[in-house]
Amino acid sequence: MGEITNVMEYEAIAKEKLPKMVFDYYASGAEDQWTLQENRNAFSRILFRPRILIDVSKIDMNTTVLGFKISMPIMIAPTAMQKMAHPEGEYATARAASAAGTIMVYKDRNVVAQLVRRAERAGFKAIALTVDTPRLGRREADIKNRFTLPPFLTLKNFQGLDLGKMDEANDSGLAAYVAGQIDRSLSWKDVKWLQTITKLPILVKGVLTAEDARIAVQAGAAGIIVSNHGARQLDYVPATIMALEEVVKATQGRIPVFLDGGVRRGTDVFKALALGASGIFIGRPVVYSLAAEGEKGVRRVLEMLREEFELAMALSGCRSLKEITRDHIVTEWDASLPRPVPRL
């Protein structure tokens, strides 16, 4: 393996190393995969307005998320079934970064309560409630491959809970299994119910509109993750970076807004922060680097993104996260807005 110089290069290595069914499961999006491409492409249409002759000899990337200090605004998204990528799976990823807790809401409220207790006992600091999966999106690669969990793997979180097992199905075994477990009647009242059974802050993951952002604030969410589930649910929703500003404006600064989907460069991180995100989450790059090099790969991905983000800050004239402003970027929807000319 030659010198890896950017996050994207891990994808080709993962494709070589992993069985086709597993790689396709991680890589694919829903239906035409338009949103999958757009999650990346949309970043390339946002340009920089760098400021010059600023002393950038010291750059501070530290930030606070839900009261916890972290060294940079780059975090790891809740990504399922990492042991398909590497035998150490989530353990390796957790060692490479402090992981955020995640749950999926199951039909049996009692099961959710048990999972929440487990998360609390394990020392998790937050719960990411995935809200965009009342049904699983149509991922055609999984249907072609008749995706099912490799025999040596189990859904560990649900061990000891009576949920049945995933069988090979006529299409995607995962879709069939999930259909049997996920609660399609999940609604905002359940977000409130979750707060009655735990003191952990709840991040609502899967918000794409101002309307839902306002309801999330009212429902007591501690934060929002603007996410389209890695473009794996409803195709032709916008890229998350395109939906971000609408959501940020709707929250009016009352709760932090994060973004996942399509982040592959430090410049992407900068663009998300300039549009109002408090931080970003990465998903696929973690799984691909895990497949390629285990814990070392995940560490390297975080290092590369950190270095690139620091460089983007320096070259834009920003010494701390609070110095990153909306004026440091220009988007296609800015064209009609006259920019104020600063007085000298």
Alpha-carbon distance values, 90 to 44, 96, 101, 149, 300 (Å): 31, 10, 11, 16, 16
79 marked among binding-site residues: yes
263 known ligand binder: yes
Judge contact between 83 and 89, C-beta under 8 A: yes
Residue 78 annotated as binding site? yes
Q: Is 106 annotated as a binding-site member?
A: no
Residue with tokens 């003191």: 199
Q: Report the alpha-carbon distance of residue 203 to residue 256 in Å, rounded.
A: 9
Q: What residue type is 289 in one-letter code?
A: S
Per the annotation, does 130 bind a ligand? Answer: yes
Is 264 annotated in a binding site? The answer is: yes
**328 labelled catalytic:** no
Q: Is 132 annotated as a binding residue?
A: no
Burial class (CB in 10 A: 0-12, 13-18, 19+), 311: middle
| DSSP designation for 341 | P
- Terminal C-alpha separation, the chain: 53
Q: Is 121 annotated as a binding residue?
A: no
Q: Is 205 annotated as a binding residue?
A: yes
Radius of gyration of the chain (CA): 20
* CA angle in degrees (0–180, nearest 5) for 205-210-212: 50
Half-sphere exposure (Cβ direction) of 20: Cα atoms closer than 13 Å: 6
Task: Return the number of other C-beta atoms located less than 10 Å from residue 165's C-beta.
Answer: 11
Q: Which of 40, 83, 86, 229 is catalytic?
A: 229
Q: Is 327 annotated as contributing to ligand binding?
A: no
Q: Confirm whether residue 45 is marked as ligand binding.
A: no
Residues tagged in the binding site annotation for glyoxylate = 25, 139, 229, 232
Residues tagged in the binding site annotation = 25, 78-80, 130, 139, 205, 227, 229, 232, 260-264, 283-284
Catalytic residue numbers read 229
